[in-house]
Chains A and B, each alone.
Chain A
Amino acid sequence: MAVLKTEELTYIYSQGTPFEKTAVDHVNLEINEGEMIGIIGHTGSGKSTLIQHFNGLLKPTSGKIFLDGQDIWADKNKIREVRFKVGLVFQYPEYQIFEETVYKDIAFGCKNMGLDDNEIKRSVTETAHDIGLPEELLDRSPFELSGGQKRRVAIAGVMAMNPRVLILDEPAAGLDPSGRDRIFDCIKSYHKKTKNTILIVSHSMEDIATFADRILVMNQAGIFCFDETEKVFSRAEEITQIGLDVPQITRVFLELKKRGIDFGKEVYTVDYARELILKHLRERQVL
Chain B
Amino acid sequence: MLKDITIGQFFPADSLVHRLDPRFKIIMTLLFIIMLFAGQSMICLATGAAYTVMAILLSKIKFRMFVKSIKPIMPFLLVTAFLNILFVNDGTVYFHWKFLKITSEGINVSVIMIIRIVILIAGSSLLTYTTSPISLTDAVERLLSPLKKLKFPVHELAMMMSIALRFIPTLIEETDKIISAQKARGAEFDTGSIMNRARNLVSILIPLFISAFRRADELATAMECRCYCGGEGRTRLRQLKSAPRDYIALAVTISFLVCAVIINILT
Contacts and interface: CB of A to CB of B under 8 A. Distances in A.
B205 to A, nearest CB: 8
Contacts of B65: 17
Contact of A87 (B184, B188, B203, B207): B184
B216 to A, nearest CB: 15
B13 interface: yes
Interface string A4-26: 00000000001011100000000
Contact of B64 (A16, A87, A143, A158): A16
B238 interface: no
Contacts of A157: 185
Given A17-B65, A18-B11, A83 B183 contact: yes
A118 interface: no
Interface in A62-81: 80
A109 B186 contact: yes
Interface in B180-216: 180-188, 191, 202-203, 206-207, 210-211
Interface string A96-112: 11100000000011001
A90 B186 contact: no
Contact of A90 (B64, B181, B191, B202): B181
Contact of B182 (A17, A80, A87, A96): A96
A83 B183 CA distance: 8
B245 interface: no
Given A17-B65, A18-B13, A95-B178, A57 B184 contact: yes
Interface residues of A, number: 27
B3 interface: yes
Contacts of A112: 185-188
A130 B62 CA distance: 54
B177 interface: yes
A80 B186 contact: yes
Contact of A98 (B13, B64, B186, B206): B206
Given A16-B64, A18-B11, A90-B177, A98 B202 contact: yes
A9 B227 CA distance: 50
Contact of B207 (A55, A96, A161): A96
A57 B186 CA distance: 11
B202 A109 contact: no
B190 to A, nearest CB: 11
A238 to B, nearest CB: 33
A17 B187 CA distance: 30
Nearest to B200: A112
Given A16-B64, A18-B11, A97-B207, A161 B177 contact: no
B184 A88 contact: yes
A98 B210 CA distance: 9
A83 B184 contact: yes
A143 B213 CA distance: 14
Contacts of A143: 210
A108 B210 CA distance: 19
A222 interface: no
Nearest to B64: A16
Contacts of A90: 177, 180-181, 184
Most buried by B among A96, A109, A143: A96
B186 A96 contact: no
Contacts of A80: 186, 188, 191
Contacts of A96: 178, 181-182, 185, 203, 207
A95 B171 CA distance: 13
B183 A84 contact: no
Given A18-B13, A108-B203, A84 B181 contact: no
Contacts of B210: 95, 143
9 contacts: A87-B184, A88-B184, A89-B184, A90-B184, A95-B211, A96-B203, A98-B206, A113-B186, A158-B184
Interface of B: 3, 11, 13, 62, 64-65, 177-178, 180-188, 191, 202-203, 206-207, 210-211
